[in-house]
Amino acid sequence: MTIITIEEHPFAQFVRILGKGKRGARSLTREEAAQAMGMLLDRQTEDSQLGAFLMLLRHKEESAEELAGFADAVRSRLHTPALQVDLDWPSYAGKKRHLPWYLLAAKALAGSGIRILMHGGGLHTAGRLYSEQLLEMLEIPLCSDWPGVTDALEQQKLAFIPLGCWMPELQRMIDLRNILGLRSPIHSLARILNPLQARCGLQSIFHPGYQAVHRDASQLLGDNVIVIKGEGGEIEVNPDSACQLLGSSAQGVWTEGWPAMSAQRHVKPERLEPEKLLAVWHGQATDDYALQAVTGTMALALRGLGHSREQALEQARVIWDKRLNRQT
Same domain, 32 and 136: no
**Domain match, 151 and 175 both:** yes
3-state secondary structure of 95: strand
CA-CA distance, 300 to 302, in Å (whole number)?
A: 5
Picking from 33, 53, 76, the residue at the C-terminal end of a domain is 76
The answer as to whether 5 is a domain residue is no
For the segment 67-82, the average pLDDT, to the nearest whole number, is: 97
pTM over 0.75: yes
Number of domains in the chain: 2
Q: Confidence class of residue 148 from pLDDT cuts 50, 70 and 90?
A: very high
Average pLDDT over the chain reads 93
Same domain, 47 and 187: no
Please report, for the domain that includes residue 289, its CATH number.
3.40.1030.10
pLDDT band at 317 (very low <50, low <70, confident <90, very high): very high
**312 and 176 in a common domain:** yes
Q: Are residues 72 and 106 in the same domain?
A: no
Summarised one tens digit per residue, pLDDT across range 21-53 is 778 889 999 999 999 999 999 999 999 999 999
**Which of 57, 76, 95 is the last residue before a domain boundary?**
76
Contact 82, 153 (CB under 8 A): no
Residue 137 lies in a domain: yes
Same domain as 301, residue 153: yes
Position 12 scores a pLDDT of 94
Of residues 222, 215, 83, the one with CA closest to residue 149:
83
- End-of-domain residue from the set 76, 100, 125: 76
- Let me know whether 27 and 124 are in one domain: no
What CATH number did the domain enclosing 68 receive?
1.20.970.10
Q: Name which of 16-25, 108-117, 194-203 the model is least confident about.
A: 16-25
168 and 259 both lie in a single domain: yes
CB 106 within 8 A of CB 230: no
237 part of a folded domain: yes
- Mark whether 122 and 49 lie in a shared domain: no
pLDDT tens readout for residues 232-275 = 889 999 999 999 999 998 889 999 999 999 878 888 888 889 99
* Residues 183 and 288 occupy one common structural domain: yes
Contact (CB, 8 A) for 32 and 69:
yes
Query: Do 45 and 99 reside in the same domain of the chain?
Result: no
Does 7 fall in a domain? Answer: no
Given a contact cutoff of 8 angstroms between Cβ atoms, the answer to whether 43 and 172 are in contact is no
What is the domain range of residue 118? 87-327
- 240's torsion region: left (phi>0), alpha (psi -120 to 50) or beta? alpha
- On whether both 198 and 249 belong to a single domain, the answer is yes
Residues of the chain above pLDDT 70, percent = 98
